[in-house]
Amino acid sequence: MTLKGMFTGETVDRYGSPAARIHPSSIDHLPVTRGITKAVAMPNSCTFSGPNGNLGFWCFDTTREHFDTDFFTSFSPISVLQIRELWVGQRTESYSNSESKPWKQTAARVHGAFEVLTKVEDLTIVSCETEPFFVTLGETVTGGVLLPGLKRLTVYTGCGDLNVSSLIRCTKARKERFQQLGEVTVVWKKEPGVDVVQEVESLREFVGELIYRVGEAPKLVWTGKERDDW
């Protein structure tokens, strides 16, 4: 089933044409919109999963260009409050063999998204600039902590970076001021140097279990219909 429309409050789209709207009552009775526990967030697209199936969204404007508060609140009336497994990553362009660019964020945007997704226990970052995520997860300026239920963190470096120093500060802060992460996994695309491995080993004293290895980042590909196919 394909629903065509927009969940934003705009009355016109970016081309100046009247924007299609989907009224909440037309979808909130569908089982697939309930019980969402997993989300895969990619630039301008997102896939939700739950016991009733998968629900994919593709956005043509800039509403979901960044991983921030609006990225998730714009899906109302679909509730994202119970998401426990979250993947954030750059979409793999199936039509191109070129290396993808990392999905760039800011700490402020990531902070806003994490304030909405309070139940996340398992976070996987794929081919993103990592520092905004680590800074946000480790901050304790207000005396609190974002994603208080976070137990597992997995980072696929892929085309993104791995700011190990920032990750160490993050895991140290969570252990000293809240509770330590149960498991941290780092996956490099290529064999890292000895100095990098030694730096990552410094994480071991701040987490329950540390895993690192070499491997390919998972491919995040939008599998729904593109606009030109409609």
Q: What pTM did the predictor assign?
A: 0.84
State the Cα–Cα distance between residues 56 and 68, nearest whole angstrom.
18
State the Cα–Cα distance between residues 96 and 8, nearest whole angstrom.
30
Residue 93's pLDDT is 58
Query: To 10 degrees, what angle do helices 131-138 and 164-177 make?
Result: 10
Residue 81's pLDDT is 86
Supply 189's token pair. 């695309």
CATH 3.80.10 for domain 32-229:
yes
Per-residue pLDDT of the chain (230 residues; tens, 9 = 90+): 556 555 555 566 566 666 556 666 667 777 887 889 999 999 888 889 989 888 887 776 666 788 998 888 877 778 888 999 999 998 765 444 445 678 888 999 999 999 999 999 999 999 888 999 999 998 765 667 899 999 999 999 876 578 899 999 999 999 988 889 999 999 998 888 899 899 999 999 999 999 999 998 888 865 554 444 33
Secondary structure (3-state) at 210:
strand
Residue 98's pLDDT is 41
Residue 74, amino acid: S
Residue 97's pLDDT is 41
Supply 229's token pair. 């196919």
State the Cα–Cα distance between residues 76 and 193, nearest whole angstrom.
46
Beta bridge partners of 211: 185
**Which distant-in-sequence residues (6+ apart) come within 8 Å of 87 by Cβ?**
38, 39, 40, 41, 124, 126, 220
Domain boundaries of the chain, sorted by first residue:
32-229
Residue 94's pLDDT is 46
DSSP 178: S
State the Cα–Cα distance between residues 200 and 106, nearest whole angstrom.
23
| DSSP state letters, 87-102 | EEEPPP-TT--SPPPP
Residue 110's pLDDT is 94
Secondary structure (3-state) at 171:
helix
End-to-end CA gap in the chain: 13
Q: In this structure, what is the dihedral angle of CA atoms 207, 211, 215, 219, given to the nearest 10 degrees?
A: -40
